[in-house]
C-alpha cells in the first residue's frame, strides 16, 4: 500500500455524493490511509455545490471490519484513535445529511461510522458485533456516538458479550434506521435520498445541526478521554496477545 493507493472513491449524481469504501484486502478496515481518504471525501462533499446528500457505502459486501489490527499491533493507535474521533465528528457535524448503506457485515470501529450517520439502511442479512471485549479492548472511541443511539440495556448486552447480532435487532435497538429485504435495499436507499432531495437545502442544514447538537457536545467533552483509553488498551499486553491470536486464526 502506498499513499497514492485509492481506498475511497467519490462520485456525484443527482445531488448525491456517493463515497465508497474500496479496500477489500482488509475488509475495509480503518487503516490510517482509508480514514484519511474518507475524511478528504467528506470534506469534498461539504464543499461540493452539486451535492446535497452524502451516501456512504462499500464496494464489496463487507462495510467495515473495524480497526486495522496490523497497524494497531505495530503501535499505530495513538493517532488512529484520534482520527476515528475526527471521522465520527466530521460525519455528525457535516452540513449535509449522511445516509449509510449497509449490504454486509459491520464490526467494532465501523459501528462508529454507522452511529454517526443520520440515516442508516441495511439489508436484513447484515450482521453486527462490538468485538472489542473479545480482544481485550473496549468500544471507547465509538462509544461517543454509539451509546446515545442505544438503550442502556442494549449497549451493555451487545458490548459486554461481543456477540454477533442481526439486522432486525440492530433496527430495534436504534443502531440502524431500517432493515429491509436484500432485494429492496437499493430501492430503499434511493427512496431515502429522494425524500431528502425534497427538502430545502437550508432546512436540511439547519435541522441536521439542531439534531446533532447534543451528540457534538458529547464528542467534544469526552473525545480526549476516550482516545486516551483506546490508546492504552490497544497498547496493553492482553490486547496485543488477543489481536495477534485473532490475526493468526484469520490467516490460516
Residue 1: what pLDDT? 63
Residue 76: what pLDDT? 62
- pLDDT of residue 8 exceeding 70: yes
Q: What percent of the chain has pLDDT over 70?
A: 98
The burial of 181, by beta-carbon neighbours within 10 Å (0-12 exposed, 13-18 middle, 19 or more buried), is given as exposed
Residue 197: what pLDDT? 97
Residue 75: what pLDDT? 67
Cell of 48: 461540493
Longest dimension (CA), the chain: 53
pLDDT in tens, 111-148: 999 999 999 999 999 999 999 999 999 999 999 999 99
Q: How far apart are CA 22 and CA 230, in angstroms?
A: 26
Residue 97, SS3?
coil
pTM beyond 0.85: yes
- Mean pLDDT within 55-59: 98
Q: Which domains does the chain have, with CATH numbers?
A: 8-182 (3.90.226.10)
Contact 128, 175 (CB under 8 A): yes
Q: In whole numbers, what is the pLDDT of the chain averaged over residues? A: 95
- Mean pLDDT within 223-247: 94
- Mean pLDDT within 40-49: 98
Question: Sorting pLDDT into bands at 50, 70 and 90, what band is 77?
Answer: confident
Q: What percent of the chain has pLDDT over 90?
A: 91
Cite the DSSP H helix spans in the chain.
32-47, 69-73, 77-93, 110-116, 143-149, 152-161, 167-172, 185-197, 201-234, 237-251
Amino acid at each position: 500500500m502506498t499513499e497514492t493507493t485509492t481506498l475511497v472513491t467519490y462520485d456525484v449524481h443527482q445531488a448525491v455524493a456517493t463515497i465508497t469504501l474500496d479496500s477489500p484486502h482488509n475488509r475495509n478496515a480503518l487503516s490510517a490511509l482509508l480514514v484519511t481518504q474518507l475524511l478528504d471525501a467528506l470534506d469534498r462533499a461539504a464543499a461540493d455545490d452539486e451535492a446535497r446528500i452524502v451516501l456512504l457505502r462499500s464496494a464489496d459486501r463487507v462495510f467495515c471490519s473495524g480497526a486495522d489490527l496490523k497497524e494497531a499491533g505495530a503501535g499505530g493507535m495513538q493517532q488512529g484513535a484520534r482520527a476515528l474521533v475526527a471521522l465520527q465528528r466530521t460525519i455528525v457535524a457535516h452540513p449535509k445529511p449522511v445516509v449509510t448503506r449497509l449490504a454486509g457485515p459491520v464490526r467494532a470501529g465501523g459501528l462508529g461510522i454507522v452511529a454517526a450517520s443520520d440515516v442508516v439502511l441495511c439489508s436484513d442479512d447484515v450482521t453486527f458485533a462490538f468485538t472489542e471485549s473479545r480482544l481485550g479492548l473496549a468500544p471507547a472511541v465509538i462509544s461517543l456516538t454509539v451509546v446515545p443511539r442505544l438503550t442502556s440495556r442494549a449497549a451493555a448486552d451487545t458490548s459486554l458479550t461481543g456477540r454477533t447480532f442481526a439486522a432486525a435487532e440492530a433496527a430495534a435497538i436504534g443502531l440502524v434506521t431500517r432493515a429491509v429485504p436484500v432485494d429492496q435495499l437499493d430501492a430503499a436507499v434511493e427512496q431515502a435520498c429522494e425524500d431528502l432531495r425534497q427538502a430545502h437545502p437550508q432546512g436540511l442544514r439547519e435541522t441536521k445541526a439542531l439534531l446533532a447538537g447534543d451528540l457534538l457536545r458529547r464528542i467534544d467533552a469526552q473525545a480526549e478521554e476516550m482516545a486516551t483509553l483506546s490508546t492504552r488498551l490497544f497498547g496493553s499486553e492482553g490486547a496485543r496477545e488477543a489481536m495477534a491470536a485473532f490475526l493468526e486464526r484469520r490467516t490460516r
